[in-house]
Chains A and B, each alone.
Chain A
Amino acid sequence: METLYLLIPIAAFLVVVAVGLFLWSIKSGQFEDLEGPGFKILMDDDKDMIPDDARLPEKNSPKKNRENVK
Chain B
Amino acid sequence: MSQTAEQNCFHCGLPVPPGADYAVEIRGEKRPMCCHGCQAVSQAIVDGGLVSFYDHRDGPSQRPEDLLPEQLQKLDLYDEDKLQQTFVEIDEDSLKSASLILEGITCAACVWLNERHVKALAGVVEFQVNYSTHRARVRWDDSQIHLSDILKAISAIGYIAHPFDASRQEAIYKKERRAALKRLAVAGLGAMQVMMLAVPLYGMEGDAGFDPEMRTFLRWISMLLATPVVFYAAKSFFVTAWKDLKRRQLGMDVPVALAIGAAYTASVWSTIYDGPDVYFDSVCMFAFFLLSSRFLEMGARHRAGQAAEELIRLIPAVATRLVNGREDIVAVDELRPGDTVLVKPGETIPIDGHVLEGVSSVDESLLTGESLPMLKKVGDDLTGGSVNVESPLTLCVDRVGEDTVVSGIVRLLDRAQTEKPSMARLADQVAAWFVGVILLIAGAVAFWWWQHDPMHAFAITLSVLVVTCPCALSLATPVAITAATGTLTRLGLLTTRGHALETLSKITHIVFDKTGTLTEGRLRLSAVHCLADEDEQQLKALAALLESRSEHPVAQVLARSATAMSATIESLQATPGKGIEAVIDGRVYRIGNLDYVAELAGMPSAYPSQNNRSTLVGLCREDQWLAVFELNDTLREQAVDVVGQLQSAGLQVELLSGDAQSAVASVADQLGISRWHAGQKPEDKLNRIRQIQQSGGVVAMIGDGVNDAPVLSGADVSFAMGSGTQLAHASADLVLLSENLRHLLSGFNMARDTVKIIRQNLGWALGYNLLALPLAASGMIAPWMAALGMSTSSLVVVVNALRLRRK
Contact = CB atoms under 8 A, between A and B. Distances in A.
B40 to A, nearest CB: 21
Nearest to A5: B217
A31 B108 CA distance: 17
A52 to B, nearest CB: 16
B27 A39 contact: no
Contacts of B196: 11
Given A1-B214, A36-B130, A31 B193 contact: no
A35 B112 contact: no
B732 interface: no
Interface residues on B, range: 35 or more
A32 B130 contact: yes
B403 interface: no
A23 B131 contact: no
Interface string B198-221: 000000000000010010011001
Contact of B131 (A4, A12, A27, A33): A33
A5 B220 CA distance: 12
A31 B183 CA distance: 14
Given A23-B185, A39-B111, A42-B56, A12 B28 contact: no
Interface in A29-64: 31-36, 38-40, 42-45, 47, 60-62
A36 B132 contact: yes
Contact of A22 (B111, B130, B185): B185
B186 interface: yes
Contacts of B185: 19, 22-23, 26
Contact of A9 (B133, B189, B221): B221
A19 B224 contact: no
Nearest to B107: A39
Contacts of B218: 8
A62 B27 CA distance: 6
B702 interface: no
A43 B28 contact: no
Nearest to B112: A43
B221 A8 contact: yes
A interface majority secondary structure: helix
B52 interface: yes
Contacts of A61: 27-28
Given A5-B217, A36-B131, A43-B56, A12 B108 contact: no
Contacts of B56: 39, 42-43
Nearest to B51: A61
A4 to B, nearest CB: 7
A42 B190 CA distance: 35
B627 to A, nearest CB: 46
Interface stretch (B157-165, B174-182, B275-283, B685-693): B174-182
Interface string B729-756: 0000000000000000000000000000
Contacts of A26: 178, 181-182, 185
B129 interface: yes
A45 B174 CA distance: 30
Nearest to B217: A5
B438 interface: no
A47 to B, nearest CB: 8
B29 interface: yes
Nearest to B188: A22
A61 to B, nearest CB: 5
A33 B181 contact: no
Nearest to B133: A33
Tell which of B116, B182, B185, B192 has the most Cβ of chain A within 10 Å.
B185
Contacts of B217: 4-5, 8
A39 B108 contact: yes
A1 B221 CA distance: 16
B314 interface: no
B153 interface: no
A45 B116 CA distance: 9
A34 B303 CA distance: 14
Contacts of B178: 26-27, 31
B266 interface: no
B238 to A, nearest CB: 21
A13 to B, nearest CB: 11
A19 B224 CA distance: 14
A6 to B, nearest CB: 11
B28 A62 contact: yes
Nearest to B193: A15
Interface string B130-142: 1111000000000
Given A32-B174, A36-B130, A23 B27 contact: no
A34 B52 contact: no
A47 B182 CA distance: 39
Nearest to B129: A36
B28 to A, nearest CB: 5
B796 interface: no
B208 to A, nearest CB: 16
Interface string B657-696: 0000000000000000000000000000000000000000
Contacts of B28: 60-62
A60 B112 contact: no
A12 B221 CA distance: 8
B111 A36 contact: yes
Contacts of A42: 56, 108
Nearest to A2: B214
Given A19-B185, A43-B56, A36 B108 contact: yes
Contacts of A15: 189-190, 192-193, 225
B372 interface: no
Closest 9 CB pairs of A and B: A39-B108, A36-B131, A22-B185, A33-B130, A43-B112, A15-B193, A35-B131, A62-B28, A26-B181
Given A4-B214, A15-B189, A60-B28, 19 more contacts: A1-B214, A9-B221, A11-B193, A12-B221, A12-B224, A19-B189, A19-B190, A31-B178, A35-B131, A35-B132, A36-B111, A36-B130, A38-B108, A39-B56, A39-B108, A40-B108, A40-B112, A43-B109, A61-B28
25 contacts: A4-B214, A8-B217, A9-B221, A11-B196, A12-B221, A12-B224, A15-B190, A15-B225, A18-B189, A19-B185, A22-B189, A26-B181, A26-B182, A32-B130, A36-B111, A39-B56, A39-B111, A39-B112, A40-B108, A40-B111, A44-B52, A45-B112, A45-B116, A47-B52, A62-B27
Interface of B: 27-29, 52, 56, 107-109, 111-112, 116, 129-133, 174, 177-178, 181-182, 185-186, 189-190, 192-193, 196-197, 211, 214, 217-218, 221, 224-225
Interface of A: 1, 4-5, 8-9, 11-12, 15, 18-19, 22-23, 26-27, 31-36, 38-40, 42-45, 47, 60-62
